[in-house]
Homo-oligomer: A and B are copies of this chain.
Amino acid sequence: MEKQATIIDIARTLNISTSTVSRALRNTFDVKAETREAVMALAEKLNYQPNRLAISLLKRQTHTIGVIIPNLDFVLSTMVKGIDEVALEAGYTVMVCQSNESFGRELVNTKRLLDSLVDGIIVSVSSETKVFEHIKKIKDRNIPLVVFDRVNKEIVAPHVQLDNVEGGVLATEHLLEQGYQKIAILAGPQNLDISNKRMEGYLNTLKKHGLRIKKDFIIHCDFNQDYAYEATKELLTMKNRPDAIFTISDRMAIGASLAIKEKGLRMPTDIGLVGFNNEPITKLVTPNISSVEQPAFEMGKITAKLFIEMMNSKKDMNNEEIILKPKLFIRESSLRFTKKV
């Protein structure tokens, strides 16, 4: 079984033309039943597989979707799983590229995917990405594009994202409800939309309750456990230290948690903590960490569905915007009182 059998091999052995074989293998249109069966039988016997390259070249589509993501953490790999699920169902193969949160790598990845002639691209931008020329190039080539999770207003394309503002609201309202008054926030990089939105929710909630916003309580740092640890240490040495911290990721919450424990403070008594993403780890550390969940798997599936709808309908969906709702999971790190009825 050295070489893959082709349509020509079948045609030759059956003494018919390749056109007829081609038709027999697919449509059953304009082909006699017995010849069709003969073709089918031989194809089976030779283990014939149509050559996708030839078909792709001819039809100018590869049935491949490129996905660019900043990393493969819990949330994103769950989203990818969702995308995969739906894409596979619809007959597409998915090509995943990680940018490792690097802008340069993101450029290379987009170039590579365009070069691979993918039918479309789904992207979640890296935290370093501040300009979007490479994304525009995708649109210039008339290649369908959907952005998800880490979106940006400058990108003209359908968006699928979490209601990040609402996420910030949920966390902050909950902390206030638990009697915390001086709430700090560990936000992410300033150019990241998801970070700003979550902070917006935090700010809105404080304003709504007539609380003063302290600049010192707003820390921008990398999505990184170590940075969060350092930042929290700083926060806790302030003369008027915060009595609660909202971090926009669970990794950061873990870092904060370590700093808090090291300082000898206890959660939730002395200080409250709420993270974001509801990663499994939040349930495993002591104390458990409250966290805002995003429906990652769902988001992946919806993104892929929207994408496929766009591919099929060919209509302009640039203004489409799907927003999913977050959900707060309350755990030990912030639960001082059981909820009043």
Tell me the A residues contacting B by CB distance below 8 Å.
1-2, 4, 49, 51-54, 56-57, 62, 64, 72, 77, 80-81, 84, 88, 93, 95-98, 100, 108, 112, 114-117, 140-142, 254, 258, 281, 284-286
Number of copies: 2
Q: Are B141 and A112 in contact (CB under 8 A)?
A: no
Cα-based distance from A84 to B81 in the complex (angstroms): 18
Which residues on the B side are within 8 Å of A115 (C-beta)?
49, 52
10 tightest A-B CB contacts, nearest first: A72-B77, A53-B57, A286-B286, A1-B140, A53-B56, A96-B96, A284-B285, A53-B53, A254-B284, A281-B281
Contacts A51-B57, A72-B77 hold; do A93 and B93 have CB atoms under 8 A apart? no
A96 contact set on B, CB distance < 8 A: 96
Contacts of A52 in B (CB 8 A): 115-117
- A84 / chain B contacts, CB cutoff of 8 Å: 97-98
| Interchain CA distance A88-B115 in the complex, whole Å | 13
Cβ contact within 8 Å between B62 and A72: no
Q: In the complex, which residue of chain B has the Cβ closest to the Cβ of A77?
A: B72
Whether B93 contacts A112 by the Cβ 8 Å rule is: yes
CB of A119 to closest CB in B, whole Å: 12
Partner of A53, one of B72, B77, B93, B117: B117
From B54, B77, B117, contact of A57 by CB (8 A):
B54
Q: Which of B2, B100, B140, B281 lies in contact with A284, CB distance below 8 A?
A: B281
C-alpha spacing A115/B62, complex, angstroms? 12
| Complex contact B57–A62 (CB within 8 A) | no
Does the CB pair B114–A49 fall under 8 Å?
A: yes
A88 to B97, CA, bound (A): 10
CB distance from A254 to the nearest CB of B (A): 5
A50 to chain B, nearest CB (A): 8
Chain B residue at smallest Cβ distance from A67: B96
The contact sample of 19 A-B pairs, CB cut-off 8 A, is A1-B141, A49-B114, A49-B115, A51-B117, A52-B115, A53-B53, A72-B77, A72-B80, A77-B77, A84-B97, A88-B112, A93-B116, A95-B95, A96-B96, A254-B284, A281-B284, A284-B284, A285-B286, A286-B286
**B141, A4: Cβ atoms closer than 8 Å:** yes
Q: List 17 additional contacts besides A52-B116, A53-B53, A57-B57; criterion CB under 8 Å.
A: A1-B140, A49-B114, A49-B115, A51-B117, A53-B62, A53-B117, A72-B72, A72-B80, A72-B81, A77-B77, A81-B100, A84-B97, A84-B98, A93-B112, A281-B281, A281-B284, A284-B285
Q: CB distance B81 to A98 under 8 Å?
A: yes
Q: CA separation between A96 and B81, bound complex, in Å?
A: 11
A285: chain B residues within 8 A (beta carbon)? 284-286
Q: Name the distance in Å between A71's Cβ and chain B's nearest Cβ.
A: 9
| Closest Cβ–Cβ distance, residue A180 to chain B (whole Å) | 23
Chain B residue at minimum C-beta to C-beta distance from A76: B72
